[in-house]
Amino acid sequence: MTTATDISQLSTEELQARVRALKKELNAVILAHYYTLPEIQQVADVVGDSLALARAAQKNTADVIVFAGVYFMAETAKILNPGKLVLMPDADAGCPLADSCPEDEFRAFREANPDAIAITYINSTAAIKALSDITCTSSNAEHILSQIPQGQRIIFGPDRNLGAWLAKRSGRDMLIWQGYCYVHDAFTETCMVQAMAMHPGAELIAHPECREEVLRHASFVGSTQALLDYTQKSPSNSFIVATEPGIIYEMQLRSPGKTFIPAPKDPANPRSICRQMKLNTLDRLYLAMVNRQPEITVEENLREAALKPITRMLEMSA
């Protein structure tokens, strides 16, 4: 087994060259979320938001999927590909939002509202997906919601901020689970107002996992992909970006002349970073590929149950 010590002398470029060679040898595809480190995004075959990565996991001809993201993303890839080897650089890269929704409590929530269907954010465990009717991401949640008949009661979880934003946009009354993402929920109105005063020409753009007090000041609200697309289309030259700052790497690549300011978390902490996404380091990515572990597995009954809402999502957002 190759260890971190064996590769400690290698430069970033040497490690990236080894990763690219291993990709060919294993017939592997590397899927990376926009919140991962630039050196990971550079070796990935697909860099995307949660929806793009779920689609890429569904449609690929590789034998091995290496997922540089958080656990629920790699787990979703395994649910879609039971016959493939799915690897993660660090299996401890969990999503605290997903983990904030325990199976027993969510089951009780459903049982207390038997006439409601459950639309669940993809940032959830396989067990929660198995208890849900339809999965969604921040890119397709509004579109999926628009296909649910008026009058149908809806449970939405686990993100309270995305749920509140969807309820406001759609005018629908939803039963919302009170989880949140610590990265996005850390942004406050006070900090945004200060940042806008410091950068008067910059547009504030925000992810719907942010609180309503932040979203109400934003000129555009959207998923990571939608924010990226917006910065290309907007005539503005500078943006205050209220989401995980990993996306700024791709924003700068696509719009080299524009300025991107990470939204401040508080005066002492200028950026709100997802620690779990940053566990995907290049050395761990290489070691996962060379050692074929950590491997993601999902028990078959659970996989079949969790596949249903994911398939429904992919059909409803095709």
Interface residue list for ligand 13P (CB under 6 A): 49-50, 95, 123, 137-139, 181, 209, 223-224
User: From the list ligand SF4, ligand 13P, none, which binds 96 (C-beta under 5 to 8 Å, kind-based)?
Assistant: ligand SF4
Nearer to ligand 13P, 27 or 178 (CB): 178
CA-CA-CA-CA dihedral for 106, 111, 112, 115, to nearest 10: 110
Quickly tell me which residue has 């997922």 as its tokens.
Answer: 67
Nearer to ligand SF4, 62 or 89 (CB): 89
Minimum Å gap between C-beta 24 and ligand 13P is: 28
- Say if residues 180 and 161 touch (Cβ distance below 8 Å): yes
Element (H, E) at 119: strand 117-121
Minimum Å gap between C-beta 225 and ligand 13P is: 7
User: From the list ligand SF4, ligand 13P, none, which binds 138 (C-beta under 5 to 8 Å, kind-based)?
Assistant: ligand 13P
Largest interatomic CA distance in the chain: 62
User: From the list ligand SF4, ligand 13P, none, which binds 137 (C-beta under 5 to 8 Å, kind-based)?
Assistant: ligand 13P
* Identity of residue 73: M
Nearer to ligand SF4, 16 or 161 (CB): 161
CA-CA-CA-CA dihedral for 47, 204, 98, 45, to nearest 10: 0
| 254: Cβ contacts below 8 Å, ≥ 6 apart | 228, 231, 232
Minimum Å gap between C-beta 93 and ligand 13P is: 11
* Identity of residue 312: R
User: From the list ligand 13P, ligand SF4, none, which binds 231 (C-beta under 5 to 8 Å, kind-based)?
Assistant: none
Nearer to ligand 13P, 224 or 255 (CB): 224
Nearer to ligand 13P, 49 or 75 (CB): 49
User: From the list ligand 13P, ligand SF4, none, which binds 247 (C-beta under 5 to 8 Å, kind-based)?
Assistant: none
From CA 279, how far away is CA 284, in angstroms rounded?
8
Minimum Å gap between C-beta 272 and ligand SF4 is: 9
Show the CA angle centred on residue 250, arms to residues 248 and 251, nearest 5°. 60
User: From the list ligand 13P, ligand SF4, none, which binds 306 (C-beta under 5 to 8 Å, kind-based)?
Assistant: none
Q: Is 59 helix (H, G, I), strand (E, B) or coil?
A: coil
Nearer to ligand 13P, 48 or 264 (CB): 48
Element (H, E) at 9: none
Minimum Å gap between C-beta 18 and ligand SF4 is: 27
Minimum Å gap between C-beta 221 and ligand SF4 is: 16
Nearer to ligand SF4, 278 or 308 (CB): 278
- Say if residues 240 and 199 touch (Cβ distance below 8 Å): yes
From CA 202, how far away is CA 193, in angstroms rounded?
12
Binding residues for ligand SF4 (CB under 6 A): 35, 70, 95-97, 123, 181-183, 244, 274, 276-277
Show the CA angle centred on residue 234, arms to residues 230 and 238, nearest 5°. 95
Residue of 2, 35, 5 lying closest to 19 (CA atoms): 2
Minimum Å gap between C-beta 285 and ligand 13P is: 18
